[in-house]
Structure formats: structure tokens, C-alpha cells
Structure 1
Amino acid sequence: MMLRNWMLLVLLWTGVGVGGAYAQAEDDGAQARALLTEAVDYYKENGDKALAVFSRQGRFVKDDLYVFAINTNGIMLASGGPSVMLIGRDIMNSIDDELKPKFQQALSQPENGEILEADYPWGSWNTGGRKITKHVYFQRVGDTVLAVGYYQPRASSEQALQLLETAAEAVSSNARETFNAINALDPRFYQDDLYVFVVELDSQRFVAHGSNLRLVGRDFGALADRVGKPFGQEALDKIATTEMVEFDYQWKHPITGDTEHKHAYARKVGNYLVAVGYYQPNNGDGAQASAE
């Protein structure tokens, strides 16, 4: 049941080609708002006849952005994305209980001519089950709520440090339980494109990885990126003499699939190196990392 609900939720809010939308998130914010404004004007002029237009490929589907419409009773009326299969269905029967209050709040907003905004964590078949923050613009017209959403920009260095602190405390409290949670994509240990990985210092091998389970058991010290930088050994050498280190390398982004520059922070927690890194796409070389 939970898997079915998750897949329906994916279809409701995610579009085709999440990588492209994520990579251009800043531009998509302005484009999403503009597309919603265009859709609202069209709906006001054409009424319910506009719903069929929103559900077809055309002027209201622009790259990864599309319009969808839900009435205030929760019935999907139109969609230019994968959620077209939910047209005519009550979305409240297709989402998890923890998300229902957010939908109900959005659908209960009064009609005041304003564009409202909300953030939601949504999964995608392109992200291996991880949820990504999606920013949605929406406006009510009569009993219909029109919306357009896009994926948020990459996480920041501050967010990476916060996640590292959370992970370090968890490893210190119960290492094995934390490793299992990281490997199972527990949402406590990833945020958008951030994720935790842990290396046992004695063996120098990964014991947990929040993006690529194939690396668990691999020798971290033997890793080199596409340009040949032995970043794994560099990090191990640094952590041998201090409790907190930083290092840089080229690595595959977990959402876009592109190889980008990554800056990582790591802490020594007992016999483990616990690390979180954030991506800096303007510094990437576009190549594929050799460890993938």
C-alpha cells in the first residue's frame, strides 16, 4: 500500500526529466511563475474548456514545467505531466497521511488573486527513491487551484555542515543502526542532493553510502576521480591528524547524473570518517568519475 501511494505521489508532482529542471532551477522559478500566470489568464477566459488544453502537450508544457489543476475537493482536473493518469481521482486517497494536511491547507486558501508558494519533498523515479524539495506556485480561481512547480537549487555548504552534525551525532550514539539507516535512504541522512557516507578508518572501507550502495565495502583510499585525483587517500591522510577535514573532487550528482565539482566536509567519530559534501556545478568538468 505504501509503495502504491508513493508511486501515485510521484506521478502527481514530478515531471519528466527532473535532471534538466534541477540543473536550471533558478531560471525555472521565474519560468514557473510566468507559466502559472499565463495558465490562470487562459482559464479565466475559457473556463473548464482550458482543462483539456492544460492536459495536452503544447503551450502549457515548457520543458520540465507543466500546469496541473485540482479542485477544492481534491479532485485532479488536469495535468500536462505524468499525473495526467490521476485526472478524475481524489488525490487525498493517493497520498500519505503526513502529507494530507499540506494539500488541504493549499486547497483551502481563499481566492484573492494572489500567487501563493509552498515547498514539498517529493520522490522521483529518476532519483532512486530519494525525495527532493519542490517549490510550487499556485493560485485559486473559483473552485479550481492551478499550479506549476520546479525543483529547488542545490543544497548549500551550511546545509551540508548541518547534515554532517546530525550524522556524526547519530554515529556516535549508535553506529550500526545509523549505517543501516543511511544505506536505506532514511530521510534523516539526506537532504535534496546532500547525502552522508561513512568510512571505517581501520579498514579504509565504506560502511555506509547514502547514494551508491555499490561503494559499500570498497576501499575509500583507492578512489580517484576522473582527473586522477586520489581524493580518498587525501581525506584519510588529513583525518589522521585532525578531527575535521575538507577535500574536493569531481563526482556524479545524485539527481542530474552529471559529474560536478564537490566540496566535502568530514569528521572523525571514533573509528569512522563521517562525511557530507555539496555540489558546485560551475566548477565541474562534465566527465564521469572513475569510481562509478
Structure 2
Amino acid sequence: MLSNTRNALGLALLLALGGAAPMPAFAQAPTADTQRLSEQWDEKRATTLLDRAVAHIEAKGKDGVTDFSRQGSFVDGDLYVYALADDGRFLASGGSSAALIGSKVTEQTDAGGKAFFREILDLAAAKGSGRVEYRWLNPVQNREEPKVTLFRKVGDVIVAVGFYSPRASAAQARDLLDRAAEALAADASVALADFQRIGGKFTQDDLYVLVVNMEDGRFLAHGASPALIGRNGHDLRDPKGKAVITDMINIARRKGAGELDYVWRNPTTAKVESKHTYFRAVDGKLVGVGYYTR
């Protein structure tokens, strides 16, 4: 239901921006562009809600934060407003974080040990506003997912709105590919081992690295499915019959690098989803990183 809602919202944003796309194609075959529009729409909603909450505090003062803990104009679907005092006390929330009200959250950390509230407080003191990324429990999915919080300081109150971003972005995939290619060129044996390390620096949410020997098509590394190592990638097909590895190798031989759309199992959701992978040739090896667009 949530994915369908986001798809519809993404289409509305596309039309509002002056684009044109037939609804059936959008609904049935999400692409990198539609995923990006969905993320832009979530951030636009969060910004609009934050604007409204800031105006409320400017008009009513610090006492106005109690209104954020009520269901109403400061809740928009899965988005809600929360507020902190500049000394780290949690003042109000319209969502699951209401359990923190009254607590001092300066040292509160996310699943990865990041003291994100402290980061919000420090940035608010230094710049007056900003954004912070961390991991938080998504009650809809019942799992911890990446979240982005936008915030502004109004007097001694910090007003914030967060939104979940469970899918890695195209920029994150390209960045990981750059780092993986550099590591592979520097020391292939060390890099291949690092690519397989669960929770290591080459796995990030639903992102991971794959490496294939371009001469024989055999997998040398696969951050999500180690069982593929040694298997001939030319034999591999996605659920729609696309020869994914063969296509990547052919493009890399002709151009040195490229990108490909196909469908694949997402290790974080255990579902088959649309995927967009960036890849390049490095010393006779194909190295790739893809992100899931749905």
C-alpha cells in the first residue's frame, strides 16, 4: 500500500513539474527517474510540514510544541513533527518517538551507534538548520531503516521532521562503485575479500559490490550472495530472462563502463525488485554496484 501511494505521489510530482508519463508504464515499471521523483516528493512533504511547524512556534512560542504531540495538522501520513530543547530534552512528537518525551536524548544513538540527536543539536547551534541521516525503526515495516531528518532552530527549540529513505540512491551507488574500483585496482585480493565482508565498508543498506572475471564470466565476489562465487555469470538470467552478466560484460568490453536495468532479489526486503546497476572494467574484471528502484 505504501509503495503504491508513493508511486501515485511521484506521478503527481512529475506532472506538477511539467513532465509527461503514461500512468500504466509508471505503475508497472518503476525506473531510476520515478524513484528519484518519489524521494523528492517525500522531502517536499517533509519541508512543507516543517515550514508549518516552524511558523507555529514562531507564533505561539515554546508552549506551542505540545500541539505537535496531537494527531492533526502536524502529521502528514507517515510524516510527523518532533521537537527538542537546545539542551537535549525531547519535548514533543506526533509519532513513535513520543516515548522519548521528557528524556534527555543527547547520547541517544541509532542502530549503528551514531549519536544523531547530538549531531542535530550541534548543527542547530552552529547553523540554525540542517539535515541529518541515521537509522530508525519504521513502525510500518517493523524494521530499522535509513531516515533523513530536516530541522530548524526557533529560539531555544529545535523543530524537526523526518522521512524514511529505505532505498539507497543512485549517487550512493556511484560513490560505492568508485571506492570499489579504486580498491580493486590497488590490491585485488584484499578488495575481493573486503567486498564479501558482512557489515564491512563495501556493504551499505541494500548496496553491495559484485565482481566478475570478464574472460570467463565467473563471479569473483558478490556481497549479497557469496554462493555465486565461481559460478559462470553467463548462465545467469533475471526472472524476466535477461542475461544480466552477459549484457554487462558486452557493454564493458565496448565502452569500458555502462549501466543496466533489470530485476533482482533485494537482500534487505527479500523481494524481487527493479534494479539499476552501474559497472566498469578494471584490469579485466567487471565491477558493479546497483541500487533498487522499487
Pairwise TM-score range, normalised by the shorter structure: 0.5 to 0.7
Q: Note the residue ranges of structure 2 that are not aligned, 5 or more in a row.
A: 11-34
CA-CA distance at 1:73 after TM superposition: 0.6
Q: Alignment partner of 1:33: what SS? A: helix
In the alignment, is residue 181 of structure 1 matched against residue 198 of structure 2? no
User: Aligned letter for 2:43?
Assistant: G
Q: Note the residue ranges of structure 1 that are not aligned, 5 or more in a row.
A: 1-16, 287-292
In the alignment, is residue 140 of structure 1 matched against residue 139 of structure 2? no
Q: Distance in 1 between the 2:243 and 2:217 partners?
A: 17
Task: Say if 1:193 and 1:255, in contact at 8 Å, map to a contact too.
Answer: yes
1:66-90 Cα shifts (integer Å, max 9, x gaps):
1111110111112223322322222
Task: Say if 1:155 and 1:278, in contact at 8 Å, map to a contact too.
Answer: yes
Q: Alignment partner of 2:102: what SS? A: coil
Q: Distance in 2 between the 1:124 and 1:215 partners?
A: 31
Q: Distance in 1 between the 2:116 and 2:187 partners?
A: 29
In the alignment, is residue 123 of structure 1 matched against residue 135 of structure 2? yes
Aligned-pair Cα RMSD in Å: 4.1
Match of 1:40 among 54, 61, 65: 54
Aligned to 2:248: 235
Q: Alignment partner of 1:78: what SS? A: strand
Aligned to 2:107: 93
Aligned to 1:103: 120
TM-score of the two chains, using structure 1 as the length reference: 0.66
Aligned to 2:264: 251
Q: Distance in 2 between the 1:276 and 1:49 partners?
A: 48
What count of residue pairs does the alignment treat as equivalent?
A: 254
TM-score of the two chains, using structure 2 as the length reference: 0.66
CA-CA distance at 1:25 after TM superposition: 1.8
Q: Alignment partner of 1:91: what SS? A: coil
CA-CA distance at 1:203 after TM superposition: 7.0
The structure 1 segments of at least 4 consecutive aligned residues displaced by more than 6 Å after TM superposition are: 17-22, 126-131
CA-CA distance at 1:26 after TM superposition: 1.2
CA-CA distance at 1:143 after TM superposition: 1.7
Task: Say if 1:264 and 1:277, in contact at 8 Å, map to a contact too.
Answer: yes
Q: Distance in 2 between the 1:199 and 1:45 partners?
A: 60
Q: 1:229 to 1:128 in 2, by over 3 A?
A: farther
Deviates more, 1:37-46 or 1:81-90: 37-46
Q: 1:30 to 1:243 in 2, by over 3 A?
A: closer
User: Aligned letter for 1:72?
Assistant: D
Task: Say if 1:155 and 1:193, in contact at 8 Å, map to a contact too.
Answer: no
User: Aligned letter for 2:154?
Assistant: V
